[in-house]
Structure 1
Amino acid sequence: MSNRAVLEVIALNAEDAVAAQAGGADRLELVTDMAADGLTPPRETFAAIRAAVDIPLRVMLRAADGFAAGDVDALVASARALRAEGAEEFVLGFLNPDGTPDLVTVERLAAELEGCRWTFHRAIDRAADRDQLRKELAGLPGLDTYLTAGAAEGVDAGLPVLLAEAARRGEPGYEAQILVGGGLRLDHLPALRAAGVDAFHIGGAARPNGWSFPVSAAAVEDWREALS
């Protein structure tokens, strides 16, 4: 395994995707509606991005703001349609009202994805017990990544948790890659890299002018260089 860190960038459309790839992104997370923290993009958007770039794409499966699954049948239908369009990697994560993982929904979607690789996203940062969540999800087919800031408030607050979890990599429940994102800044990188974290996720940091503007290839390049 190379020590090149993975840089994942949020893309809302083909313009974002092309800029992110040009800046050195290794993978894209495809979402729509960042006002709701990212929902499942339309099938047409996936197709346009897939045609525009040749790096891996992870597609969000999320129907509503918050961490409840909502209409699970609609999520399953979205997963099926996206797979038919060629999607091979996904992002998902749901909690019950008490902060435990919604295993019924997660297992149903994992079964629908049939071994496609997927990320359990920042719902882990709202879990009642992170360690318990990881152990309950361990062994689910396709789960290879946790997107986490270590805390609901973001990386500033969650850094100690991230460093502690990185030290447990390989233990039961800790086999999946830690993908750090959520208020991540360049000055967080040295401590995370020293701890062995090798995957990073940026959204707003790739858009210096805000979410109403496209991804900046130059901003992505700054991150790529900082990780090299």
Structure 2
Amino acid sequence: MSDVTFEVCLQSVDDAVAAQRGGAQRVELCAALVEGGITPSPASISQCRDAVDIDIMVMIRPRGGDFDYTERELEQMHQDIEFCQRVGVTGVVFGLLTPEGDVAQAQVQSLRETAGDLAVTFHRAFDVCRNPLSALETLIDLGVDRILTSGQAATVPEGLALLKTLHQRAAGRIGILPGCGITPENVARVLRETGVREFHATAFAPLESRMQHRNAKVYMGIPGLPEYERMVTATAEVEHFFRALTTT
């Protein structure tokens, strides 16, 4: 399946390098994936651009939580997009909704205009919108290039029916990018049953800390999560997806 694009969701420059080595054609660079992803630092964005040759999509999300943003948060998003333009990444990823659950048309349009020639993905805010088929048409009208979605389900395998419908309704007017819960074991089925030719997934493996001195009583993050182990993108895990596609 040489025509399939694998977008790896990740959160560091080292992750991006590992994804490229594994054959990924595109990455989505985020920070704090534990919150669903927020905007990475300017240094992370610029270093990632210098480190890899593949396409880089940058998450533009000022905080975790819902997708109803204040004017100050919206201005922050504009400034983050302007930085991405200056650095020269491929595109940006954002999503905004009204309190009623519809696409926040005026805000999306303003951010789309700021993005200029950058590609724009509307992220999984789509999965909590009120009417996905209406939102699809709105995003097409607004000039959005792609929608990242699990089909309004907990995972892509559970949302296959809507994903197939979205792909058919889109009819090439906008890209449908399935994401959330895609694994090497189900990726071929996802592509086959939806008809899409791109997918979004993490390719993580645990990395044990090199720290020899450890204080198990202290937490720097969320209590209960490992303090001396973290998940990083692994080249072998990226390759695992491609092997699954070529052997299924």
Q: Is the Cα contact below 8 Å between 1:43 and 1:85 reproduced in 2?
A: no
Letter in 2 for 1:154: T
Residues 1:168 and 1:192: Cα distance change in structure 2 (over 3 Å)? farther
Q: Is the Cα contact below 8 Å between 1:8 and 1:200 reproduced in 2?
A: yes
Alignment partner of 1:209 out of 184, 206, 211:
206
**Alpha-carbon offset, residue 63 of structure 1:** 0.5
Counterpart mapping for 1:1-228 below 5 A: 4-65=3-64, 66-70=66-70, 71-141=73-143, 143-170=144-171, 175-194=173-192, 195-203=194-202, 206-209=203-206, 212-228=230-246
Question: 1:138, 1:37 → 2: CA distance?
Answer: 24
Residues 1:69 and 1:225: Cα distance change in structure 2 (over 3 Å)? farther
Letter in 1 for 2:98: N
Q: Is the Cα contact below 8 Å between 2:9 and 2:27 reproduced in 1?
A: yes
- Could you say what the CA RMSD is over the residues aligned between the two structures, in angstroms? 1.9
Question: 1:54, 1:179 → 2: CA distance?
Answer: 21
Q: Which runs of 4+ in 1 moved over 3 A?
A: none
Letter in 2 for 1:52: A
Aligned length: 221
Question: 1:7, 1:115 → 2: CA distance?
Answer: 22
Q: Is the Cα contact below 8 Å between 1:69 and 1:105 reproduced in 2?
A: no
Question: 2:31, 2:177 → 1: CA distance?
Answer: 20
**Alpha-carbon offset, residue 20 of structure 1:** 0.5
- Larger-gyration structure (1/2): 2
Question: 2:245, 2:170 → 1: CA distance?
Answer: 20
Residues 123-145 of structure 1: CA distance to partner in whole angstroms, max 9, x if unpaired?
1111100011111121323x221
| Secondary structure class of the residue paired with 1:212 | strand
| Secondary structure class of the residue paired with 1:213 | strand
**Alpha-carbon offset, residue 166 of structure 1:** 2.5
Letter in 2 for 1:218: A
Q: Is the Cα contact below 8 Å between 1:62 and 1:69 reproduced in 2?
A: no
Letter in 2 for 1:69: Y
**Alpha-carbon offset, residue 165 of structure 1:** 2.1
| Secondary structure class of the residue paired with 1:138 | helix
> Higher RCO, 1 or 2 (CA under 8 Å, sep at least 6)?
1
Question: 1:17, 1:190 → 2: CA distance?
Answer: 23
| Secondary structure class of the residue paired with 1:167 | helix
Identify which range, 96-105 or 61-70, moves more after superposition: 61-70
Letter in 2 for 1:36: E
| Secondary structure class of the residue paired with 1:108 | helix
Question: 1:107, 1:29 → 2: CA distance?
Answer: 21
